[in-house]
Structures are given as structure tokens and as C-alpha cells.
Amino acid sequence: MSFNWTLFFESTPYGDGIYLNWLWDGIVVTVSLAVTAWIIAFILGSLVGICRTLENKFLNRFAAGYIQLFRNIPLLVQMFLWYMLFPEILSGSLKTWFISGLSPDVSAFITAAIALGLFTSARIAEQVRTGIQTLPIGQRYAAIALGLTNRQAYMYVLLPNAYRRIIPPLTSEMTNIIKNSSVASTIGLIDLIGQIDRINDATNSIVEILCGVTIAFMLINYAVLTIMRFVEKQTRLPNMNHGG
Amino acid sequence: MQLLNWIADIPSLVSDNYHLLLSGLWLTAKITFTAVVFGIVWGTVLALMRLSNNKILNIFAKFYVNLFRSIPLLLVLLWFYLALPQVIKHIFNLPPYADVRIVSAMIAFALFEAAYYSEIIRAGINAVAKGQYHAAYALGMTKSQAMRLIILPQAFRSMVPLLLTQGIILFQDTSLVYVMSLIDLFGASVTQIGTVQGGTVKYSMIIFAAISYFIICYTASRLVNYFKKGISR
């Protein structure tokens, strides 16, 4: 076997630069999908996680069901569910716009972001719930004693402390969302994984391409860990042990 | 409502194709089982390497775990589908047309999950009270005896729920063998029945797949919870 390790620096047959540019396109798609899905997941996950700590029976039950539903179905199945059923759920002009108005790349991106976002939101909800519930109960009492409403107690006391406390598990959810975003390649999104096929069709040297993509994922992962370590340091409160 | 029609079609589709679905489920179970068993064995070895005083073993285990934890499972599966079958065929002297996809999938899952299992096991070993080591040494045990007879049994008992939960995650992840064109529970329902029969069957079958995975995983996680309460008592 002979390997061509300079493959990524050769120019593509389409005249759009070198194969490294294609790899870079894949990185951009993977990261932007992960970021979009993260925003959805963080907002929904926080809401559901907070509901899980409320005394309202209905909201609590609903949140528990939501978490069970999204945690017990494989991401691949959820991805295909949204891919197949989402266009059918839409109606009227929205449906025609989604099916024929958007380019396939964009509609695949939207579908993947929704699926990945909802899947991850259930995991974030669990982290947020744990973060709030492991705070000393005195913080809640202190907030109430100061005359804060329930809503204010969450906004100004419980959530700021809880989020600081769960930065490490949220970091690992961030690395997970990047890894999980690769499942979007199964519904036709050309992310880092999608580029494997594309480059392989043009060059037929799979081992080198897989090495390149593996290194790309390791670098992204390392970047996330570095950024989050910085965030954790910056948000740490004085006179608090273990950052929260 | 279309959705209800699709759901109403599920029972007849399932009873017409139950052979295919059961063989898919069987493949899912086989891959999950081998990956859990070999993943835990190899994960234990990796955890012991991480905890040993030998620098080389230590660095190897650390690199291995970090590598597999920073890349997606899908990428590992693609390595084992696109690049490594040639190597496997070469090692075992198989003809080029041999189908090694199932074996490749099992190896890929075991190697990948071992990285996650090793972190769970390492934490479990570290959580055993230090006095246990001292007591074992005081009784004249060697290091390996202490580990084998005193530490690991206790560590594993406390880790069982976590290992099982990881097993449920692994069960869900096996659906990714779809990219190796293997026919597991997902492949049987969505590609074999859904796409082949066409029409609205594909909608019914993807809903069926979601429901079956949900029921299996939800029941399993309930059992693990029940079990966990039994242990902590």
C-alpha cells in the first residue's frame, strides 16, 4: 500500500482551490450546525430543566415526559423522523417554501439543527435540573426572605449559581453535540463526514481522508475544551470553591 | 389526520414482516452484547493501565481514551467500513469477497465503548476507600492480589448501574450501523420495509422504529433505576 500524504494540498478537479478547502467547508458546516443546535438545545433545555424543579405538578410531569421521550430514542431515528415527517407537518405556503423554495442543503441543515437541538435539550435539561437541585436549599430561602418573587429568585439567585456549577458537564455536552452532529450526514448534509465521500470520489484514497477528518475532529474538540476552560475561569465567583 | 393513518398501518405491516424485524433486532442485540462484554474487559485493562506506575502504559491508555472520546462514533464506523476491512481480511487470510461488516462493526463498537467504559471504571476504582489498599497490603497481599480480590469486586459493585446505563446508550448507538449498510432493527424497519415498499409505508415504519427503541430503552432504564435502589439499600 502506498499513501499520498500531501493529498489535502493538491488542487481539486473543479478548480475551487485545494482539498483542504473542502475539508474546511466541512468544518464550517459541522461547527455551524453544532452552534445552531446548541442554541436551540440550551434555551429549550433550560426551560424544561427549570420546569422540572417547579412545584407545579403539570409542568413537572410534562418536563419529565419530554426528557424521557428525547433520551430514549436514538439520534439517528430522531434525525430520520424529522427528515421524513417535518415537511409533512408543515402546511400551506410554508410547506411549499420548505420543500421547493429552499435548496436541499439549507433544508437538511434546518432539519438536522431541529433534531440535534431537541435531542440535546433533554440532556441539558437534566444538567440544569441537577444544577438547581444541588444548590444549598438556603439560597432559595434567602431569596424568598429578601422578598424576591419565585421568578426573581430563579433569575437573580438560583440560575446564575446553577449555571456556574454545571459548566463542566455542559462542556462535555458541547463536545457531544459536535460529535453527534456527524449523524446529520445520513440525511444528506455535507458536513465533515459528508466530505469524506465527496473527496474520496475525486481522489480514491480513503485512509488519508479519514486521517484528515479524524484530526479535524480532534482539533475542534480541543478548541471547545480550551474555550470552555477560559469561560469557566472568567465566570468564577470570588470566595467560592470549585467554581460555583 | 395523516399521522393517525400512518400509525394505524403499523400493526399489519409489523405482522407481515415480523421475520425481517426480528432478525434486525437480533443483529442489534448481538452487536450490543459483544460490544458491552469486550468493551468492559478492554475498558478495565485500559483503566488499570491509566492507574499503573508504568509511564508507557499510562501514556498509551491516556492517548487511546482521549482519541476515542474526541471523535464521533460514526467516524470510527466509517474507518471500520471503508479502510480497515482490507486489513482484517489480510490478517485472517480471508478472500477479498468475504463479508466482514458484522465483525468490523462489533470490533468498532467494542474499541469505541472501551474508552467510555474505562473512564467509568477508573472513577469506580478511585472511589474505593484508600484504607482498603492499606488493609490488603497489611494482610500481605501483593499489588495485583489486592486489585483483583479486594478493590475490583467493590468497584464493580458500585459501578454496575453506570455500566448498564452506558449499555443502554450503546444500544441506541448501534442504530448507526446503518452507515455500514447492515440491517439492524433500524435498517430492517426503515430501509428494508419502509423504503422498499415505498408510499406511506416509510412514514409508518420510522414511527414504528421510534416506538420500539423508546419502549426497549425506557423499560431498560427503569430496570436499572430499580436495580440501583436495590444496591444502595
Give the tens place of pLDDT for each residue, A185-229: 999 899 999 999 888 888 888 888 999 999 999 999 999 999 999
Tell me how far apart the alpha carbons of residues A35 and A44 are, in angstroms, rounded to a whole number. Answer: 14
Stretch A173-193: mean pLDDT: 93
- Does residue A244 carry a pLDDT above 50? no
Query: In whole angstroms, how large is the CA radius of gyration of chain A?
Result: 22
User: Quick check: A213 and B70 CB within 8 A?
Assistant: no
Environment class of residue B79 by beta-carbon count within 10 Å: exposed (0-12), middle (13-18) or buried (19+)? buried
Residue-range domain boundaries for chain A:
24-193+239-243
The dihedrals phi and psi of A11, each to the nearest 5 degrees, come to -85, 150
CB contact under 8 A, B75 and A185: no
Question: Measured between CA atoms, how close is B36 to chain A, in angstroms?
Answer: 17
To the nearest whole Å, the CA of A150 is away from the closest chain B CA by: 32
For A87, nearest residue in chain B (alpha carbons)? B203
Is A85 in Cβ contact with B203 (below 8 Å)? yes
Domain B2-232 class in CATH: mainly alpha
Q: Which residue in the set B69, B82, B209 is minimally distant from A206, CB to CB?
A: B82
**Shortest CA distance to A77 belongs to which of A30, A124, A118, A35?**
A118
pLDDT at A238: 78
**Range A24-193+239-243 has CATH code 3.20.20.70:** no
Q: Do B83 and A206 touch (CB under 8 A)?
A: yes
* HSE toward the beta carbon, residue B84, CA cutoff 13 A: 20
Q: What averages of pLDDT result for each successive group of 10 residues across chain B (233 residues)?
A: 82 86 94 95 95 93 94 94 82 78 92 95 92 92 90 90 93 93 90 81 90 95 87 63
Say whether A183 and B176 touch across the interface (CB within 8 A). Answer: yes
Share above pLDDT 90 across residues of chain A, in percent, rounded to a whole number: 66
Q: How far is the C-alpha of A161 from the C-alpha of A44, rounded, in Å? A: 19
Contact flag A180-B186 (C-beta cutoff 8 Å): no
Of A75, A207, A214, the CB nearest to B75: A214
Check A77 against B79: CB less than 8 A apart.
no
Instruction: Dump pLDDT digits (tens) for A24-77.
Output: 999 999 999 999 999 999 999 999 999 999 989 999 999 999 999 999 999 999
Residue B39 half-sphere exposure toward CB, CA atoms < 13 A: 28
**Do the beta carbons of residue A156 and residue A80 sit within 8 Å?**
no
Q: Do A81 and B73 touch (CB under 8 A)?
A: no
Whose cell is 470490533? That residue is B107
Question: How high is the pLDDT of residue A243?
Answer: 43
Domain ranges of chain B: 2-232
In this predicted structure, what is the pLDDT of residue A240?
66
Of residues A215 and A18, more confidence is placed in A215
Contacts of B83 in chain A (CB under 8 A): 206-207, 210
Distance from CA of B103 to the nearest CA of A (A): 20
> DSSP string of chain B?
-HHHHHHHHHHHHHHHSHHHHHHHHHHHHHHHHHHHHHHHHHHHHHHHHHHSS-HHHHHHHHHHHHHHHHS-HHHHHHIIIIIHHHHHHHHTT--TT---HHHHHHHHHHHHHHHHHHHHHHHHHHTS-HHHHHHHHHTT--HHHIIIIIIHHHHHHHHHHHHHHHHHHHHHHGGGGGGGT---HHIIIIIIIIIHH-TTHHHHHHHHHHHHHHHHHHHHHHHHHHHHHHHH-
What is the complex's ipTM, to 2 decimals? 0.90
Please tell me the predicted confidence (pLDDT) of residue A241.
56
Chain B residue set in contact with A, beta carbons under 8 Å: 2-3, 67, 69-75, 78-79, 82-83, 172-173, 175-176, 178-179, 186, 190, 202-203, 206-207, 209-210, 213-214, 217-218, 221
Helix axes B55-70, A167-180, angle to 10 degrees: 70
Grid cell, residue B152, equals 475490583
Q: How many CA atoms lie within 13 A of A13 on its CB side?
A: 6
Residue of B nearest to A65 (CA): B218
Instruction: Provide the pLDDT for residue A19.
Output: 85
pLDDT tens digits for range A104-135: 889 899 999 999 999 999 999 999 999 999 99
